[in-house]
Amino acid sequence: MKRFFRPFINGILRENPILVLMIGLCPALAVSSAAINGIYMGLAATFVLVGSNFIISIIRKFVPNQIRIPIFITIIATFVTIVDMVMHAYAPDMYNILGIFIPLIVVNCIILGRAEAFAYHNSVIDSIGDGIGMGLGFTLILVVLGGIRELLGNGTLFGFQVMPVSFKPVLLMILPPGAFLTIGFLQALQRYRGGKS
């Protein structure tokens, strides 16, 4: 179990894809205007990540090195297609909000990055742990980012009114600059924590 948990724990904070590895920033900045978007986007990416890490670590012994990237992309695209169709069928509202960013998970650098850097060199158990850890780390940051931006920019959290009625929302926070500002502060916080331990 230790072999499973170490990469799993690693992915959530110490090697968090967004705060530390700084990969997958594009969907993180684009869809994090509300906390609920973060959950859906994060779970979709987690599913794809776990699935692709699993398959790739199984077949890693007989994938020719020269054509591994096309093979990875094909596997990732298969899982993305599954997510895309499932969300289209069962969560059409969220599918409309996330829009192009669901198909774009195919080229999300977290997924290809972990396939390349981890699943291609590690055993199946490790790779699944890494997939879940990285995916949940990604989801966590998306939800925190979306929550902060939604709270300040709209006065709500997961769609519920939290701030008092007299609160005047900071429109900037749900616009792109708000995403950059918030992610900068989160990264600074992570560095500060890392520096202390």
Partner 1 sequence: MNERFYVSAPPHIKTKYDARYMMRQVTIALIPPTIAGIVIFGFRAFLILIISILSSILWQRLVLLLKGERRVLDGSEVVTGILLALNLSPLVPWWMPIIGTFVAIVLAKELFGGLGFNIFNPALIARAFLLVSWPMEMTTWMFPYIGINQATPLSGITQATPLTLLKLQHTYTPYINLFLGNRGGCIGETSVLALLIGAGYLFFKGVIDWKIPIPYVITVGVLAIVFRQDPLFHMMAGGLILGAFFMATDYTTTPITKLGRIVFGISCGVITILIRLFGGYPEGVSFSILFMNAMTPLLDRWTIPKPFGYKTLGRNA
* Residues at the site binding partner 1, with contacts judged by CB under 8 A: 168-173, 175, 177, 181
Give the C-alpha separation, 108 to 98, whole Å.
14
* Alpha-helix runs per DSSP H in the chain: 2-9, 25-31, 35-59, 68-90, 92-98, 109-114, 124-154, 171-174, 176-196
Give the C-alpha separation, 91 to 60, whole Å.
34
**Shortest spacing between CB 166 and partner 1, in angstroms:** 10
**Shortest spacing between CB 197 and partner 1, in angstroms:** 20
| Closer CB to partner 1, 43 or 181, in the complex | 181
| Closer CB to partner 1, 34 or 173, in the complex | 173
**Shortest spacing between CB 74 and partner 1, in angstroms:** 41
| Closer CB to partner 1, 41 or 183, in the complex | 183
- Can you read off the two tokens belonging to residue 111? 């997924």
**Shortest spacing between CB 188 and partner 1, in angstroms:** 9
| Closer CB to partner 1, 2 or 168, in the complex | 168
| Closer CB to partner 1, 151 or 173, in the complex | 173
Spatial CA neighbour of 32 closest among 153, 119, 132: 153
**Shortest spacing between CB 156 and partner 1, in angstroms:** 16
**Shortest spacing between CB 117 and partner 1, in angstroms:** 32
| Closer CB to partner 1, 86 or 189, in the complex | 189
Spatial CA neighbour of 57 closest among 106, 141, 4, 126: 126
- Can you read off the two tokens belonging to residue 139? 């989801």
Q: What contacts 25, CB < 8 A, 6 or more positions away?
A: 18, 183
Q: What contacts 133, CB < 8 A, 6 or more positions away?
A: 7, 8, 9, 10, 11, 12
